[in-house]
Amino acid sequence: MSKTPSAIKLHRKSCLLEVSFDNETFQLPAEYLRVYSPSAEVKGHGPGEEVLQLNKQNVAITGIEPQGHYAIKLIFSDGHDSGIYAWQYLYELGTQQEQKWAEYLQKVEESQISSVKWIDPK
């Protein structure tokens, strides 16, 4: 069963998108929505092609555009505007926010460890 939001509110000062589904309300930070954008730029065109989004802490949502009766397009302050957030995906981001955010932080940490170049002091 596909859920449709009963309300969507953008809180510009706190950079939160509040999405309500029936009796559930989620406050989704702009950074979280940006790094989990469903766009090809972020997701790639297939498994293993994902691109880790870094340094998005200060990104804000500058616009929201409806996409038919099934989704919204979010426009971010860093120029990213190609993600179409279907209602089901927004619900998934809300219900799995804690888990997904922990996974993202783990990937960021791993990317920083693997990018360190060790120099032999000899």
User: 14-46 pLDDT, tens per residue?
Assistant: 999 999 999 999 999 999 999 999 999 899 888
Which pLDDT belongs to residue 1? 46
7-114 — its CATH code? 3.30.2020.30
On whether the CB atoms of residues 32 and 16 are closer than 8 A, the answer is: no
Mean pLDDT confidence for 102-107: 96
Mean pLDDT of the chain: 92
pLDDT (mean) for 42-64? 92
- Whole-structure pTM value: 0.89
Distance CA 49, CA 51 (A): 6
Band (9; pLDDT cuts 50, 70, 90): very high
Domain spans in the chain, listed from the N-terminal domain onward? 7-114
DSSP of 5-67 = -SEEEEETTTTEEEEEETTEEEEEEHHHHHHT--SHHHH-SSTT------S-TT--EEEEEEE
